[in-house]
Structure 1
Amino acid sequence: MAKYSEAFKLQVVQEYLDGPLGYSALAKKHAIPDAATVRKWVTFFQEFGLEGLKRKRKKTVYPVQFKVDVLHFMKETGASYSETAIAFGMNNPSLIANWNRAFQENGIKGLKPKQKGRPPMSRKPRKQPGKQAKSTSLSQEELERENELLRLEIAYLKKLKAFRENPDTFLEKHKQQWHTHSKKKDSN
């Protein structure tokens, strides 16, 4: 979409107001792709004067409630985007079209301002200690428990093997351990 200077817009609008040419003829004469552009310039000039033809250099941030009011007005009255923009003193009807689309897709959340740009980087990357420490300690606890179970299983299998190979020696050995432990307990 071509950007036109304020002087050029004013010239085209004056030609329309002073002369016999219509929107389409002026659009062809000045190589403007669409007659609706000329009609928009004329309408905004008639409503707002020279301010209606100026491009705004500063971005106006509209509150969510204002956007809702504009869309509600447009729905209730059946006004077009251009008529609604004029009613609310705006010279950019496409902004209202964007609000309407965002509202249709996302509801009120679509009308809220969005944060621009990338989030700032901190000097050191953030680590999430709660999540990482918790998962590390949990997995470490699980591994320790598994190791303990494996040690018990190995000890059990060794004793079982020793018992199967020579049951008398195994029982004699454990009887001696039992007597020494019981004597220690009795002496206290």
Structure 2
Amino acid sequence: MVKYNSVLKAQIINEHLNDGTSGAELARNHQLPKRQVNRWLQQYRLNGIETLKWHKTKRKFSAEFKWNVINYYQTHDESLAEVAGKYNVLACQICTWRKTFIRDGYSGLGPHPKGRPTKMKRSKKQIRQL
């Protein structure tokens, strides 16, 4: 996935606001995918310029936050893209959280241990000798 500079995103938003240029024209002028430009414009309309900043660290979401997003999506008559823009997450994340919630329930939304499980259990004696 290509990461675009925040300055470029702000420049495109400014051109759209000042000149009234459409997303397709902006995409053609800057040689960017039309879908990406339209996504930036939608994010800006829903939550302002702050949503277009690049996150330097990996964001971690609590199980409660994920459940709130899923609940909002299921109870309101809004598209997945609109809900994603409102909560500043990716639409595919909401789909994944929803599938996990349907399969595993609320406990599936919580954090999971990372990495590969160990193949052999070490006894305390072996650990001390190392």
TM-score interval for Structure 1 and Structure 2 normalised by the shorter chain: 0.7 to 0.9
Change beyond 3 A, Cα 1:108–1:26: same
User: Which structure has greater helix proportion?
Assistant: 1
Q: C-alpha separation between the residues in 2 aligned to 1:29 and 1:97?
A: 33
**Deviation, structure 1 residue 70:** 1.1
Aligned length: 124
* Equivalent in the alignment of 2:56: 57
The alignment status of 1:67 with 2:66, answered yes or no, reads yes
* Equivalent in the alignment of 1:93: 91
Q: C-alpha separation between the residues in 2 aligned to 1:108 and 1:26?
A: 42
Q: C-alpha separation between the residues in 2 aligned to 1:78 and 1:126?
A: 56
Q: CA offsets per residue over residues 106-163 of structure 1, 9 Å max, x none?
A: 43343222212245899x9339xxxxxxxxxxxxxxxxxxxxxxxxxxxxxxxxxxxx
* Equivalent in the alignment of 2:26: 26
Unpaired segments of 5 or more residues in structure 1? 128-188
Q: What CA RMSD, in Å, does the superposition of the two structures yield over aligned residues?
A: 2.8
2:108 aligned residue (107, 110, 125): 110
Q: C-alpha separation between the residues in 1 aligned to 2:100 and 2:24?
A: 32
Q: CA offsets per residue over residues 69-119 of structure 1, 9 Å max, x none?
A: 21111111132223223443x253332232123334443343222212245
Normalised TM-score (structure 1) = 0.54
**Deviation, structure 1 residue 54:** 0.7
Q: C-alpha separation between the residues in 2 aligned to 1:64 and 1:49?
A: 26
* Equivalent in the alignment of 1:77: 76
Contact in 1 for aligned 2:23/2:41 (Cα 8 Å): no
Q: Which of the pair has the greater relative contact order for Cα pairs under 8 Å at 6+ separation? A: 2
Q: C-alpha separation between the residues in 2 aligned to 1:105 and 1:38?
A: 34
Q: Which of structures 1 and 2 has the bigger CA Rg?
A: 1
* Equivalent in the alignment of 2:127: none
Unpaired segments of 5 or more residues in structure 2? 125-130
Letter in 1 for 2:123: R
Normalised TM-score (structure 2) = 0.74
Change beyond 3 A, Cα 1:76–1:9: same
Letter in 1 for 2:106: I
2:122 aligned residue (125, 131, 135): 125
Contact in 2 for aligned 1:9/1:41 (Cα 8 Å): yes
Contact in 1 for aligned 2:46/2:86 (Cα 8 Å): no
Aligned residues with identical type, % of pairs: 30
